[in-house]
Structure 1
Amino acid sequence: MTIPFSLEATFEDLQAIKRANVASIDPNLDMRETAPLFNATVVNSLETVQMIATLKHLIDLVYADTAPREYLIRRAAERGLKPYPATKAKLKAVFNIDVPMGARFSLDELNYVVIEKITIGEYIVECETPGNAGNLFLGNLIPIQYINNLQTAVLTDLLIPGEDEEGTEAFRTRYFNSFDSTSFGGNRADYKEKVGKLEGVGGVRVYRAKYGPGTVGLTIISSQFTKPTQLLINTVQEFVDPINLQGEGVGTAPIDHVVTVSGVNEEVINIALNITYQTGFDWNAIQLNVLAIIDTYFGELAEQWAKAVTYEEDHAGVIVRVSQIETRLLALPGVLDISDTVLNGHMGNIELDKESIPKRGAVSG
């Protein structure tokens, strides 16, 4: 019997199967809805639909565009790919005295351990909890064990952001991108793959002969899609091509590739808004929400910068669009209309340099 339905089993499929089953039965038999043969046919049709739904589910499991995380990981393993694991945040802590290596401190619910000395009283500490949680807090630290003469202990700066385990959709995208570009021997994809998976790195753009023949320029952005710290830049430089042995092939860069790592620039964008307010609202009433919306938009542009894959994308600057700013702000309570938005003193969009992301400057409404 030919089944007149697709793998997308629906109520209509059930009806089609039932009609097909009924049509194959001797018309002289009792097929009224209360008859045993009719009821048996309906049950058979239901079981067939269930088998079709199960078959569809099994097919979804084995194709990467529909596979849930567990099966996507198994599929990607065939190409030597696996999700990036969660990493631990590294931060700067300042003490009134030198403290011992391995000393542990707490701040709220998180614990930190001293791993490296910067200078007298200043250390790099690592959050013991992996993931983004370690990026969220600065402030006074409490020693877990007594340290003689310790009077002040302050967590002051985030140096290398921690990252959560790579998300399913980001991993799925990376899997499909692996078919478009093959990493090999210091090509563009090779640099992007090896640098992109380092702790604290959110993305990298690659530039040939940036500083002259035989040189390669790598511009990185932090995993929080912000300008990276100098420590992160130095860490990536040491991994790819150590400064004192540049071009020797000691790092991951091929021999004769003189690689220089730098951080993405931040271009300040000052914004003048011409807002018509709803009754009862003014600039003071909506200012914090406006700033939050602009920061979110600029964060999306920075993430867009980080996701560049191709040569063309590496050499394209992100565009700050007036229409995006105005459309997003129109959704705010208190905003009746908005027009004639000015960016850095000029009306119109701003296309940033290929190595820059936007940073909110002064905003007036």
Structure 2
Amino acid sequence: MYEHETYEAILSRMLSRIPDTIDKREGSIIYDGLAPAAAELAQMYIELDLSFGLSFADTASGDYLSRRTAEFGVDRQQATKARRRGRFYGAQDAPIDILPGSRFSLNDLDYTAISRITVGEWVLECETAGAVGNQQYGALLPIDYVPGLVRAELADVVIPGEDQETDDALRLRYYETVNEPAFGGNVADYEQTLNKMEGVGATKVFPVWNGGGTVKCTVITSDWSEPSAAFLAELQTAIDPTVNQGKGYGTAPIGHTVTVTGVAGVTVDVATTVTLAPETTSGQVQAPIEEAVTAYLLGLRQTWADTEQIIVRVALIEAAMLQVPGVIDVTETELNGVAGNLTLAAEEIPRVGTVIVHA
């Protein structure tokens, strides 16, 4: 209602209350006296409209949305730190141990050793919160002197770091909590419990998957990839520890035997033939086409939890390739050597393999 109260409308209404026997023309004393007040009222109506929108979950943003969802116990998830596997070698590439708290750097990020996996392998925690800690691989440089260290490398992600939850993601989770109440080990309970855990991107729940009282929860990480064995072990312990399984020592109700598994990655090799614009070479389009395929498969992984099974479609891959500058036609596209769509199982996700482009 407030957006319709414009400056002109307010001023016109104020002037209409002044008798016509008094000069109300622009420039008159009455007009000049009312105009500033009308401008202030118009600004007030604008601010009231903004405040009105910030009071509802569907239009609120930022801290106002956080305060609104917190009233229902849905708190915005803060950025978390990535945990990575670090490998350390001494002379003749022999694995060596380091001290807890040892710090290393890779480009502009620093990592701290927090726990030992085995000889020469440690879990490193990125000192910078967010998904940025998941992205780099390669040689680490010690920040402090480490006796006997010849080479150190940053390897796979153990638990992915996450950026602070966006407004859209928080709003969606709020709606799920309100509209799909979690109770006593129902499907919504498992989904909401796992999805709010650090490093989890989405969950599929399979009730009674192996007889009465059994539940299988399959998760994908927050960076939309397969979870590591160490990460799955942490989730399993939190939900239903394998020791005394089904006895209610985790968040699962007593009598529920829960198995936490991870999605399985299926490599998708793409081969295609493209027609190029004049003066465009295959070398110019190779990398952009690989990026287009990678982005398409990432989009499919992000929808995994909301679909019964993922279908990698040739037509959509070709459509993505056609967006690459210099590509004017795409034909003979094959996925894993087959000229047709690739249908994955319910717990499988696609990951990019080789992309061969014939021009």
Cα shift at 1:348: 4.8
SS in 1 for 2:3: coil
Q: Is 1:203 equivalent to 2:196 in the alignment?
A: no
Task: Write out the 4+ residue segments of structure 1 that deviate beyond 6 Å after TM superposition.
Answer: none
Is 1:95 matched with 2:94?
Answer: no
Q: Deviation at 1:221?
A: 0.6
Partners of 2:131 and 2:233 in 1: how far apart?
21
Query: What percentage of residue pairs aligned between the two structures are identical?
Result: 39
Distance in structure 2 (CA, Å) of the matches to 1:299 and 1:179: 29
Q: How much has 1:9 moved relative to structure 2?
A: 4.2
**1:3 maps to which residue?**
none
Further displaced range: 211-220 or 103-112:
103-112
Q: For residue 68 of structure 1, what is the aligned residue in structure 2?
A: 61
The one-letter code matched in structure 2 to 1:207 is F
The answer to whether the 8 Å contact 2:219/2:263 transfers is: yes
Alignment of 1:145 with 2:158, yes or no, is: no
Q: Which residue of 1 aligns with 2:292?
A: 293
Structure 2 CA distance for partners of 1:347 and 1:7, relative to 1, 3 Å: farther
Match of residue 322, structure 2, among 320, 327, 330:
330
Deviation at 1:149, TM superposition (A): 2.3
Measure, in 1, the Cα distance between the counterparts of 2:34 and 2:331. Answer: 66
**2:353 aligns to what?**
361
Query: Which of 77, 81, 96 in structure 1 is aligned with 2:74?
Result: 81
Q: Deviations over 1:152-181 (max 9, x none)?
A: 222222211111221222112211222221
- Residues in 1 aligned to 2:31 and 2:12: alpha-carbon distance in whole angstroms: 11
1:64 partner amino acid: A
- After TM superposition, give the deviation of residue 344 of structure 1 in Å: 4.1
| CA distance in 1: counterparts of 2:152 and 2:341, whole angstroms | 46
Deviation at 1:288, TM superposition (A): 0.7
State the distance in 2 between where 1:109 and 1:331 align: 33
Q: Is the 8 A contact 1:160 1:229 kept in 2?
A: yes
C-alpha deviations, 1:124-154, integer Å up to 9, x for none?
1222222222212222333333332222222
Query: Residues 45 and 80 (structure 1 numbering): CA distance in 2 closer, same or farther, change over 3 Å?
Result: same
Matching residue's letter, 1:151: V
Instruction: Give the letter for the 2:28 counterpart.
Output: A
Please tell me whether residue 40 in structure 1 is matched to residue 47 in structure 2: no
**What is the aligned partner in structure 2 of residue 8 from structure 1?**
3
How far did 1:8 drift?
1.5
Whether the aligned pair in 2 keeps the contact of 1:208 and 1:216 (CA below 8 Å) is yes
Pick which of 275-284 and 103-112 moved more: 103-112
Counting only pairs closer than 5 Å after superposition, residues 240-319 of structure 1 correspond to structure 2 as 240-306=239-305, 308=306, 313=307, 316-319=308-311
Distance 1:34 1:130 in 2: 60
> Within 5 Å, which residues of 2 pair with 1:177-216?
177-216=176-215
Distance between the aligned counterparts of 2:35 and 2:344, measured in 1?
A: 65
Query: Are the equivalent residues in 2 in contact too, given 1:9–1:53 (CA < 8 A)?
Result: no
Render the CA deviation track for 1:11-38: whole Å, top value 9, x for unaligned.
xx33333333333321122122221112
Residue deviations 1:282-302 (CA, integer Å, cap 9, x gap): 333201100101101111111
SS at match of 1:62: coil
Is the contact made by 1:242 and 1:250 (CA closer than 8 Å) also made in structure 2?
yes
What is the distance in 2 between the residues matched to 1:238 and 1:183?
20
Q: Secondary structure at the match of 1:297?
A: helix
Figure out how many residues of one structure are paired with residues of the other and give that number: 351
Cα separation, 2, equivalents of 1:177 and 1:22: 51
| Secondary structure class of the residue paired with 1:237 | helix
Alignment match of 1:21 (pick from 5, 8, 14): 14
Does residue 133 of structure 2 align to residue 134 of structure 1?
yes
8 A contact 1:88–1:131 mirrored in 2: yes
Do the aligned partners of 2:131 and 2:223 also contact (CA within 8 Å) in 1? no
In structure 2, relative to structure 1, the CA distance for the partners of 1:25 and 1:339 (3 Å cut) is: farther
- Show the counterpart of 1:155: 154
| In 1: Cα distance, 2:33 partner to 2:315 partner | 62
Name 1:125's counterpart in structure 2: 124
Find the aligned partners of 2:323 and 2:32 in 1 and give their Cα distance. Answer: 55
Q: C-alpha separation between the residues in 1 aligned to 2:103 and 2:329? A: 54
- Once the two structures are superposed, residues 73-119 of structure 1 have per-residue CA deviations (whole angstroms, 9 ceiling, x without a partner) of 11111101111122211111122322222322233333222222222
**Where do 5+ consecutive residues of structure 1 fail to align?**
1-5
RMSD: 2.1
Gaps of 5+ in 2: 90-95
TM-score, normalising length: structure 1: 0.89
What's the CA shift for 1:193?
1.6
Provide the secondary structure at the position in 1 that maps to 2:350: strand
Contact 1:9 1:49 in 2 (8 A): no
For 1:168 and 1:149, the matched residues in 2 are separated by 48
What SS is found at the alignment partner of 2:259?
Answer: strand
Conserved in 1, the CA contact under 8 Å of 2:187 and 2:207?
Answer: no
